[in-house]
């Protein structure tokens, strides 16, 4: 079995605009994003840290680094999943997020799980 089959983490993301917390007149747009992390490999792995790259509609980039997610560092056995919701604030009604989770497998191997880009958009902004 190749290392790529052993160490597989699938990340799915979706986002929604939070109108009740946003203030468009002040360039304050709040988004919630929902993440599901699933271990599709054959070795248990722990999520140690996160790295997000958040880009707004003006191409302003924020990078976020931190330990775990929502105060946790979950360990996922093969086939297990972990889901959470978090949020971010942009100065524009549209933007993108992508990044990675830094993982440590039960056998000590460290690897990154990629978070593919996803869109943050207030309603009626994108056609």
Closest CA to 100 of 64, 76, 72: 64
Query: What is the C-alpha to C-alpha distance for residues 103 and 92, in angstroms, rounded to an integer?
Result: 32
Listed as ranges, residues in the chain with pLDDT below 70 are: 1-3, 125-127
| Span 55-80, pLDDT tens digits | 999 999 999 999 999 999 999 999 99
Q: Is 2 helix (H, G, I), strand (E, B) or coil?
A: coil
Note the pLDDT of residue 95.
97
Q: What is the pTM of this model?
A: 0.91
Note the pLDDT of residue 126.
57
Query: What is the C-alpha to C-alpha distance for residues 19 and 82, in angstroms, rounded to an integer?
Result: 27
Spell out the domains of the chain, with CATH numbers in brackets: 3-121 (2.60.40.1470)
Q: What is the CA radius of gyration of the chain?
A: 16
Q: What is the DSSP letter of 8?
A: -
Note the pLDDT of residue 119.
96
Note the pLDDT of residue 5.
81
Q: List, as one string, the DSSP characters of 36-81.
A: EEEE-SSS-EEEEEEEEEEEETT--EEEEEEESBTTB--EE-TT-E
């Amino acid at each position: 079995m190749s290392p790529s089959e052993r160490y597989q983490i699938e990340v799915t993301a979706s986002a929604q605009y939070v109108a009740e917390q946003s203030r468009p007149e002040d360039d304050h747009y709040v988004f919630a994003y929902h993440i599901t992390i699933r271990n599709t490999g054959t070795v248990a792995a722990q999520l140690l840290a996160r790295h997000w790259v958040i880009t707004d509609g003006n191409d302003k980039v924020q990078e976020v680094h931190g330990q775990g997610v929502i105060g946790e560092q979950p360990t996922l056995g093969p086939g297990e999943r972990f889901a959470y919701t978090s949020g971010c604030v942009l100065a524009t009604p549209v933007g993108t997020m992508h990044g990675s989770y830094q993982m440590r497998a039960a056998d000590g191997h460290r690897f990154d799980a990629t978070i593919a880009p996803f869109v943050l958009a207030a309603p009626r902004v994108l056609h």
